[in-house]
Amino acid sequence: YLKISKLALAFAIIHSKPPGKSCKEYTEHLAKTVSGQDFGWKFKAKVLEAEVLRLRQELLLNKICPRFCLANDASAENLLDQECVNPTSYSSQLEDSGCDVSHDYAFDLLGTAADFHQSEHNVDTSKLWLERVLPLNLCSTGKEESLTAPVQFLQHLLEIRKLSEGGILQADFTELENDSFTICNSVSQLLDGLTVFYNSPKFPVSNFLTEGVCVLIRLITDTTLSNYVLKKCFKKLEEFKKNLIQIILRNSSVNRFQALHAVSHTLVLLGRNNILRNSLLSLLLSEVRQFAEQLLQAHQIQAMYDVTQYENIFPLCMILEQLLQTETEESNVSSSDYDGEEKMKFLKNLDQIILHLSDEFPLFSLYLWRVSVLLNSAQIQ
């Protein structure tokens, strides 16, 4: 049937081709016209899918808390107008080449570390935030557009959680089990949007992108919501972590150090979740071990090695050290509670690797040793 259809189409094109045009030229013209129509339909389909997701998000929020309403007010619109005109207040601090990372507080805004350590907001503050909803026709462009709907939905979810904990609202979060599509799709969109930004970041970072990272971390650290999110979106979160690690390793831009710092900070924040930490440690140990073995092999045969990758491996070492130290501080026991397969592989020939690399690569060898000390702290004690 397919062969007959192709033959019929070929005859139709031959019979209908205008004079002065070859069959090939006319076929290419028709293909371009049809592909243009397909693009238009695909765009319309994406718009309709986004609208369906928005309606499902509103419906789910209403099921969780019937008293909740999405009310836009002038204050929220004024806030967003200011964001469009002047997205950040620290732009002048990030106009250097990217080699100077002394302005640490600017990077902290990406992870909003202070927000995660603050005590619970009071009820009045939470109630005020519900009245200042980010409208869906946000004036953001490009990378921020993909974050608008998921960030808004997840913000509402988190604030309902706070108000219900404070006794102001009655909420039934078991509805998240009944509509796993909406929560999964929203988290996936947020992770995809953040991945796009980290792949080609632009500084200064918009406050809206900063809020996207903040919402993600609050979501996976919330004692109630994190169970639903991790259960439904664990694979997507694992993929997100792998993507961030590869972004660090593959970045060869001259001005990459600001971006690497931002990605590293996000990985550290993700690693504070007990469920995500072990898999993240395995990924990091695997990458550092493989690079150390490749560097040793290149050193032994006096071959060239990738200097850029050598520089990029240090953020992974620093993330490893921070996560292992965090584990020790939180559990008040040895960091060797992490006892995965990658730990054994990492420690297997580490002494020999450090011994051979210490003269030529003292800083990298020092980092390897510090990580090994944290991993072996139980035996040392």
Last residue of a domain, one of 256, 272, 288: 272
Note whether residue 302 is domain-resident.
yes
pLDDT band at 145 (very low <50, low <70, confident <90, very high): low
88-92, 109-113, 376-380: range with lowest mean pLDDT: 88-92
Identify the band that residue 337 occupies on the pLDDT scale cut at 50, 70 and 90: low
160 with 259, same domain: the answer is: yes
Contacts by residues 83-89 (CB-CB < 8 Å, ≥ 24 positions apart): 83/139, 83/140, 83/206, 83/207, 83/208, 84/139, 84/140, 87/204, 87/206, 87/207, 87/208, 88/204, 88/205, 88/206, 88/207
pLDDT of residue 123: 38
Residues 251 and 343 in one domain: no
Domain count within the chain: 2
CA dist., res. 148 & res. 191, Å (int) = 12
Average per-residue pLDDT for the chain: 78
Mean pLDDT of 288-296: 95
Are 255 and 281 found together in one domain?
no
Residue 73 located in a structural domain: no
- Tell me what pLDDT residue 118 has: 44
Confidence of residue 46 (pLDDT cuts 50, 70, 90): confident
Domain boundary pick from 272, 291, 322: 272
354 vs 179, which has greater pLDDT?
A: 354
Residue 98: predicted pLDDT: 45
Local confidence band at 332 (pLDDT 50, 70, 90 cut-offs): low
Does a structural domain hold residue 285?
yes
Query: What proportion of the chain, given as a percentage, has pLDDT over 70?
Result: 75
pLDDT value for 69: 55
- The full DSSP string for 22-46 is -HHHHHHHHHHHHHHHHHHHHHHHH
Q: Are residues 247 and 298 in the same domain?
A: no
- 323 within some domain: yes
Which residue range(s) make up the domain with 346?
Answer: 276-330+337-380
Q: How confident is the model at residue 45 (pLDDT cuts 50, 70, 90)?
A: confident
Query: Does 357 reside within a domain?
Result: yes
Q: Residues 350-377: pLDDT tens digits?
A: 999 999 999 999 999 999 999 999 988 7
- The CA distance from 160 to 257, in Å, is 38
Same domain, yes or no, for 282 and 267?
Answer: no
Least confident of 38-47, 89-98, 191-200, 258-267: 89-98
Query: Do residues 358 and 304 share a domain?
Result: yes
d(CA 206, CA 110): 9
Under the banding of pLDDT at 50, 70 and 90, the label for residue 68 is low
Q: 298 and 345: one domain?
A: yes
Determine whether 266 is exposed, middle or buried from the number of CB atoms within 10 Å of its CB (0-12, 13-18, 19+). Answer: buried
Q: Does residue 186 lie in a domain region?
A: yes
Same domain flag for 256 and 364? no
Q: How confident is the model at residue 172 (pLDDT cuts 50, 70, 90)?
A: confident
Specify if 38 maps to a domain: no
- pLDDT value of residue 227: 86
d(CA 112, CA 356): 41
Residues 215 and 297 in one domain: no
pLDDT on residue 331: 58
Neighbours of 295 (CB within 10 A): 21
Length of the chain: 381
Question: pLDDT-based confidence at 144, cuts 50/70/90?
Answer: low
Q: Are residues 267 and 283 in the same domain?
A: no
Q: Which two tokens stand for residue 269?
A: 């924040």
| Contact by Cβ (8 Å): 159, 130 | yes
- Please, which pLDDT band fits residue 249 given cuts at 50, 70 and 90? very high
Domain boundary (272, 287, 316) is at: 272
Q: How confident is the model at residue 239 (pLDDT cuts 50, 70, 90)?
A: very high
Give the model's pLDDT for residue 336. 46
- Whether 238 and 302 map to the same domain: the answer is no
| pLDDT band per the 50, 70, 90 thresholds, residue 307 | very high
- Do 250 and 196 sit in the same domain of this protein? yes
Please check the confidence at residue 100 and state whether its pLDDT lies above 90.
no
| 79 located within any domain | no
Q: Determine the pLDDT at residue 322.
A: 92
